[in-house]
Amino acid sequence: MKKIDLHIHTMPTISDKEFSFSIDKLKSYVSSAAIDAIAITNHDTFDRNQFMMIKEAVDAIVYPGIEVNLETGHVLIISDGADLDAFWAKTALVSKKITKIGESISVDELKEIFDDLNDYLVIPHYDKTPEIKGEILERIIGYVSAGEVDSAKKFIRAIKDNSRLTPVLFSDARISDELRQLPTRQTFVDIGDLTLKALKACFRDKNKVSLSEKDGNKLFQIFEDGQKISTGLNILLGERSTGKTFTLNRISESNKNVKYIKQFSLVQQDDEAHERDFHKDISRERSKFMEGYLSEFKVVLNDVVNVDLQRNERLIDKYISTLLKSAEEVERKDSFSKTALFDETEFTTSEDPVLNALIRSVKQLIENVEYHSIIEKHLDINSLKELACELIEILRKKNDERKKRNFINSIIRDIKEMLRVRTSSTQVEDIDLYRIKMDFKKIEKFEEITKFLQKEAVISEENVQRFRVVASRAPFNGAGEVKLVSRSRVAFSDAYKDYNQPYKYLQSLVNIESLDPSELYKYFVKIDYKILNKHGYEVSGGERSEFRLLQEIKDAQDYEILLIDEPESSFDNIFLKDEVNKIVKEISKTMPVIVVTHNNTVGASIGADYCVYARKEFEGTDIKYRLYSGHPTDRELVSQDGKQLSNFDVILNSLEAGDQAYNERRKGYEAIKDRK
C-alpha cells in the first residue's frame, strides 16, 4: 500500500487566500504522515524552479501538476515530469489565459493546450466544490482517472455506487507555517511502483483505493497523530474530564460541515423558552415545506401577476375605435394614409423553446456516458446524430425567419410613425391578439389551479421514528389567518373579500404596497404542519425534546460527520434504545458518527463499529490526555504511541461502573425477576 496526496498548494494565486509557503512544513507533513507521493497543484500556474526545489528537499515522489479552472469547476492535471520543460510551457499557456478571478479555460482550450490528455492524470473535483459535472464532465470523461471528493463520507458513497468514478481524497492544503494541524486527508493505493501509468491502472479498480492502510474503508484518519475512527459508528468513552468533549470539539474544528449535537442542547430547561424554540423549529420546517410545496404555484403566480387585463382592454378598445374611425374616414384618405403600410400590422415573432429543448434532449441521448450502452441497445446513435442535425437545420431556419420578421417589424413601425405625423387620418392601432388571448388563458389556469390548491387535503405524512409529521392544506378562514402568515401588521380584510376569486384577490394583494411581491404566493392557501405522537395527539413537553433530537440526527444527512455528546443526559433509556440507537445506527451506514456516552443503553446496545476511549493519565507531574481505540471485539484498545488497555475493563468501567458493580446489579435484577 502506498499513501498519496496529489493535491497540494505551495503558491498563493488569485484563487487563494494569501499564505507563505513553508518547505519545512511540507517536509514535516510528508514525513510524519508517511506519504509516498505528492503532487504540486497550484491554481492555474506551475513554477518550475519551486517544483525543483521541493523535489530535491522532500523525501517522497513529487509529481508536477496544476489545478485548472475549467469552465465551471476545477480539475487536476498531473504529469509524470519526464519532460518538465514541455509541461512548464503548457501550464504557462493556462496562466496566460487566466489572469483574473472568475476567468477559466474551456474544454477545447484544455485539450488544445495539453495536446493528448491521456498523457496525464486527470482528476476533476467530483463530489467537491467547485465541481465539474454535466456536459463538461462528459466531454473530458474519457481522460479522467479518478474523481476528487472532500470527505470520508463522500469517498465511501462513491466506492459503493458503481455508477460513480473511483474516488480520491486529498488534502488540498496550503502548506505554510500557519497551518495549525497537519492534513489528515490522503488516499491509500494498492500499487507496487509509484508511476503515473501504474496509478492510472490502479484507479480503474475501486478495490485498489482506500481510506486506511490495513482496514480498507472501515477506518479513516481523523487526527494528525494518525488516530483513526470508523467511517460508520464510533462510541467515545471515558470518565469525566478526560477530554471527550475536547476531542469532539477538535473534530468539529478540523473538519468541514460537521453536525454537532452538544450535551444538554435539547434539554428542556425553561418550559416557556423550550416551547418557543420548538415552535420556532416547527415554523422553520413549515416554511421550508411550504416553499417546496408551493414552488410551482409561485412560478404560475409570478407569471400571472404580470398580466395586465386592464391594459389589454384598453388596447382592444383602442384597436376597435381606431378601426371604426378609419373606416368612417375612408373617403377622406390622403396620399400618406392611402399607403398599404399606413395600417400594416406587425409579424408575430416568438422563440421556439420546444425545438431547443428537443435538440438538447437528442444531444443528451447521443453524449450521455453513464447510460450509453442502454441507449445504444435501443436506438441507433447514427440516426440520432442525423436527427440532431435535421433539428438544428430547422432551428436555424426558424431563427433566420424570426430575425427577418423582427427586422421588418422595425421597418413597419418606423414608416407608420413617419406617415402618421404627416396625415390627419386615423391610423389603426396594431394589436397582438395572440398575446391577449394567452393572457386570458393564463388567468383561467391560475384560477383553476388556485381553487384546486384551496381544497382541504393532507398533503404529506411522514413518520419520524415514533412521531408523525403531518402537513395539510386548507383555505384561509378569514383575513386574520392570512395576517398571521404574513407576520406583519398589514390589514388583509379588504383583500380577503375577493379571496374566492383568485385573480381579483391577487390584484388586491398587489395593491397592498407594503407586501413583498415575492411572498404573495403564501397568501392563497393555509399550510398546517403538525407533529403528532404515536397516539395521534400533538406532542407534549418531553416528547418535544425527543422529537428535536431525532430531527437533529436526521438533519445530519446533509453533513459529513455527526457528533453527539451524551444523549443520555436528556432522555430516558427506553427512548434511547428504541429510537435513538436505531436512527443513529441507520445514519452511520452512510456517514461517520461519533457518540460520547457513559450510558450502557447507548454504549453497549448500539452496536458500534469502533470504540475510542479517552483517558487522563499522570506521567510524573505531567498530565497526558490519551486516546485508546480498537474494534469492539478487540481484546486490547491501543493508543497511537503503542500503549494498551483491556477492552473489557474499559467497557465495564465506562458503562457499568466496573466489574463488581455490574455483577451486583445483575444479581439484583435476577433477584427481582425470580420473585414471584
Partner 1 sequence: MKLLKIENSQGYFLLDNSKYASVDKITKEDLLRLVNLTLESEVDFDEFTDDNLKNQAHQIIYKSIYDKLNGLKERRDEFKDESARLYLKEYDRYRGESS
The answer to whether residues 82 and 59 touch, using CB atoms and an 8 Å cutoff, is no
* CA–CA dist 45, 54 (Å, integer): 16
Q: Residue 280 or 332: which CB sits closer to partner 1?
A: 332
Q: Which of 83, 115, 386, 670 binds partner 1 (CB under 8 A)?
A: 386
Q: Residue 57 or 341: which CB sits closer to partner 1?
A: 341
Shortest distance (Å) from residue 319 CB to partner 1 = 17
Q: Residue 345 or 573: which CB sits closer to partner 1?
A: 345
Quick count: other Cβ atoms within 10 Å of Cβ 615? Answer: 19
* CA–CA dist 33, 185 (Å, integer): 10
Shortest distance (Å) from residue 405 CB to partner 1 = 7
Burial 229-244 (b: 16+ CB within 10 A, else e): bbbbbbbbbbeeebbb
Q: Which helix (H) or strand (E) holds 166?
A: none
Q: Is 363 one of the binding residues for partner 1 (CB under 8 A)?
A: yes
Strands, E, within 350-482: which ranges? 457-464, 467-474
Q: Is 449 one of the binding residues for partner 1 (CB under 8 A)?
A: no
Q: Residue 88 or 347: which CB sits closer to partner 1?
A: 347
Q: Is 457 one of the binding residues for partner 1 (CB under 8 A)?
A: no
Q: Is 414 one of the binding residues for partner 1 (CB under 8 A)?
A: yes
Q: Residue 72 or 345: which CB sits closer to partner 1?
A: 345
The answer to whether residues 205 and 127 touch, using CB atoms and an 8 Å cutoff, is no
Greatest C-alpha distance within the chain: 119
Binding to partner 1 in span 327-346, by CB under 8 A: 334-336, 338-341, 344-346
User: Could you give the strand order of the β-sheet that contains 467-474, starting from the edge strand earlier in sequence?
Assistant: 457-464, 467-474, 526-532
Q: Is 347 one of the binding residues for partner 1 (CB under 8 A)?
A: yes
Q: Is 382 one of the binding residues for partner 1 (CB under 8 A)?
A: yes
Shortest distance (Å) from residue 422 CB to partner 1 = 7
Shortest distance (Å) from residue 385 CB to partner 1 = 4
Piece of the chain touching partner 1 by CB under 8 A; list 230-238, 369-377, 407-415, 559-567: 407-415
For the chain, how many residues are written?
676
Shortest distance (Å) from residue 364 CB to partner 1 = 11
* CA–CA dist 289, 295 (Å, integer): 10
Shortest distance (Å) from residue 404 CB to partner 1 = 5
Q: Is 379 one of the binding residues for partner 1 (CB under 8 A)?
A: no
Collapsing DSSP to helix, strand or coil, 151 comes out as coil
Indicate the pairing of strand 167-169 with strand 209-210.
unpaired
Shortest distance (Å) from residue 105 CB to partner 1 = 16
| Cβ neighbours for 52, distance < 8 A, ≥ 6 positions apart | none
The answer to whether residues 124 and 148 touch, using CB atoms and an 8 Å cutoff, is yes
What Å distances lie between residue 32 and 35, 224, 225, 316, CA to CA?
8, 8, 8, 81
Q: Residue 407 or 537: which CB sits closer to partner 1?
A: 407
The answer to whether residues 210 and 217 touch, using CB atoms and an 8 Å cutoff, is yes
Q: Is 111 one of the binding residues for partner 1 (CB under 8 A)?
A: no
Binding to partner 1 in span 387-406, by CB under 8 A: 388-389, 392, 395-396, 399-400, 403-405
Residue 341 DSSP class:
G
Q: Say how many residues touch partner 1, by CB under 8 A.
A: 38
Q: Which helix (H) or strand (E) holds 89?
A: helix 84-97
Shortest distance (Å) from residue 397 CB to partner 1 = 8
Shortest distance (Å) from residue 359 CB to partner 1 = 7
Q: Residue 86 or 389: which CB sits closer to partner 1?
A: 389
Residues in the site for partner 1, rule: CB under 8 A?
Answer: 334-336, 338-341, 344-347, 359, 363, 366, 382-383, 385-386, 388-389, 392, 395-396, 399-400, 403-405, 407-408, 410-412, 414-415, 418-419, 422
